Amino acid sequence: MQLVTTRAEATQFSLSEQSLGKKVGFVPTMGALHQGHLSLVHQSIRQNDSTIVSIFVNPIQFNNADDLKKYPRTLDNDLELLESEGCNMVFAPSVEEMYPQVPTESYSFGLLEQVMEGFYRPGHFNGVAIVVRRLFDILRPHRAYFGEKDYQQLVIIRKMVEQFQLPVETIGCPIVREPDGLAMSSRNRHLAASERAQASFIYQNLVFAQGNAGKLTVKDLKNEIIRRFQNHPSFRLEYFEFSDSSSLQPVDDWNDAANIRAFIAVYLGEVRLIDNIVLKETRV
């Protein structure tokens, strides 16, 4: 496994692999890797001849300086994990390497970025789009892999690929969960033991929503979930939505969209956690 830190080296590696007729898969990460990330790496290895993983804590997608400062950085451990999994190259640039000048790109994703994460984290998705577009330009992969825990991010990246007709296939991979249902996240390591013991409450309520979609009205089910979190002293709910899986716009009735997901963002202590679950899926 090669470790490179410059854009030129990264491009050279990818183009060299492609010159040999190899398909290149790419997994962008911010490090602090867990089994969720590794599931993306496994998928890439299965579907491509060469797999590249980036490790870069992207400062411009954080709208909270304290959150950026606290974000876990575990490069040595990450490299060990990736080498053992069969990754071919890791691109771990510095901030200066990725942004030699202050980035000025501005992306517009319309209504997709005006709800949920986009509403509560202004500028977040512009920062995500800037770094992912730059990584695509540097690495020129055939396929790129994203976890569905950050489902809104996946939809927006697919929109960016469509807008600019980028020659990359974006592949969403299922959420990987702890045995109690908590979605794996690098932020989970910030939970105190007492908080971690309560964290499965999030998934329990998503499953409750999944089991009652279509039985209760959208309004009644949403109000019941909100009530449950309001009555739990350890949680502070930021949002809970039932949304069209494609447009990400909220639905008022179960017949409003062919595909619907429940989305949640909640604070457990000082740690902000997000999750989602399929409620309705129409297969073509």
CA distance 173 to 190: 24
Are the C-beta atoms of 175 and 147 separated by less than 8 Å?
A: yes
Structure tokens at 255: 């017949």
CA distance 178 to 210: 19
Residue type for 20, please? L
The per-type count for the chain, helices as H runs and strands as E runs, is 11, 9
CA distance 199 to 271: 11
Burial letters 207-246, b for 16+ CB under 10 A, else e: eebeeebeeeebeebbeebeebbeeeeebebbbbbbbbbe
Annotation says 37 is catalytic: yes
Which listed residue (34, 37, 124, 142) is catalytic? 37
The side-by-side arrangement of strands in the sheet containing 169-173 is 2-4, 89-91, 50-55, 24-29, 143-147, 169-173
Would you name the residues annotated as active-site residues?
A: 37
